[in-house]
Amino acid sequence: MLHLAVAPRAPLIHGAANFVARDKSMDIQAELLNLLGENAVLIAIAIAVIVAILLGVRIVPQSEKYVVERFGRLKSVLGPGINLIVPILDKVAHKVSILERQLPNASQDAITRDNVLVQVETSVFYRILAPEKTVYRIRDVDGAIATTVAGIVRAEIGMMELDEVQSNRAELITKIKAQVEDAVDDWGIEVTRAEILDVNLDTQTRDAMLQQLNAERARRAQVTEAEGEKRSVELAADAELYAAEQAAKARRIAADAEAYATQVVAKAIADNGLEAAQYQVALKQVEALTALGTSGGSQTVVVPASAMDAFADAFKMLRGPRA
């Protein structure tokens, strides 16, 4: 009896599928190679253009400026924003910040015109306006500005006395700033602020100034006291003069009143005869006795006999002549 063995068909199908896939992959690779071979020049040109664009575009931040060189020579300065340069030929040689900068506080010795040694502490603020000048004309910007400031400060303080340095600090700062600006202008730098933070003296000079200050205060106190006494004497004299003037005015008014009364009496005598004068005298006697009687204290008043006659005569005159 004959038995036939039949092999399974699944492995054969799987092998055939792999062969077909490999064949398709080889066809695709061949087509890609053919395509690259035919368009190799165009692809190279496209890649070169892309690389050139990437190398030629420069985006500059707002706080910086770029200095561009071509074959080692200055070509241009790129400002903030998108800029284009020629790749390979041009390169960004320097990236310069245009933000305001502060020099470290510096302290230098100086001698005033009156030969006093002082130690001045200064501070300077600046910013770069023309990077092409800064990078090609000066190497150490901070050191150069600090040296310039030190020399100008010594020169200016040497022309002033110590009291002027202390009292005219604002004027001194203005002069120093103006001279520093002139000195650094060729470097493309603008000095925005210059400050004198402190003026220090040695111990001996400080003690001498303190003694001088105390003496000046004592002198001013004495002058003020003397002026006060002088003013007091002047006011007292003015008061006495005013009192004398007022007394004179009072005496003048009293004299005018007395003259007026005398004039009235004289007119009464002229109009009424001697009886008017007698009446006036008797009235004065009565007023004097009344004032004496009303004065304070216990006292005895001796009235002369003639006084009673004066009262009688006064009453007679008041009653007038009988018909």
pTM: 0.54
CA distances from 149 to 140, 143, 183 (A): 14, 10, 9
Domain ranges of the chain: 17-94, 101-201, 273-294+301-323
Nearest to 269 by CA among 256, 258, 259, 281: 281
Q: What is the mean pLDDT of the chain?
A: 80
The residue-averaged pLDDT of 47-54 equals: 82
Q: What 3 state SS string does 262-289 have?
A: HHHHHHHHHHHCHHHHHHHHHHHHHHHH
275-291 pLDDT, tens digit per residue, is 666 666 666 766 776 76
Question: What letter would DSSP give residue 260?
Answer: H
How far apart CA 198 and CA 210 sit, in angstroms, is: 18
The residue-averaged pLDDT of 14-28 equals: 59
The residue-averaged pLDDT of 3-12 equals: 46
Residue 318 pLDDT greater than 80, yes or no: no
| Choices 1.10.1200.10, 3.30.420.40, 3.30.479.30, 3.40.50.970: CATH for 101-201 | 3.30.479.30
Residue 56 pLDDT greater than 80, yes or no: yes
Residue 19 pLDDT greater than 80, yes or no: no
123-168 pLDDT, tens digit per residue, is 999 999 999 999 999 989 999 999 999 999 999 999 988 888 888 8
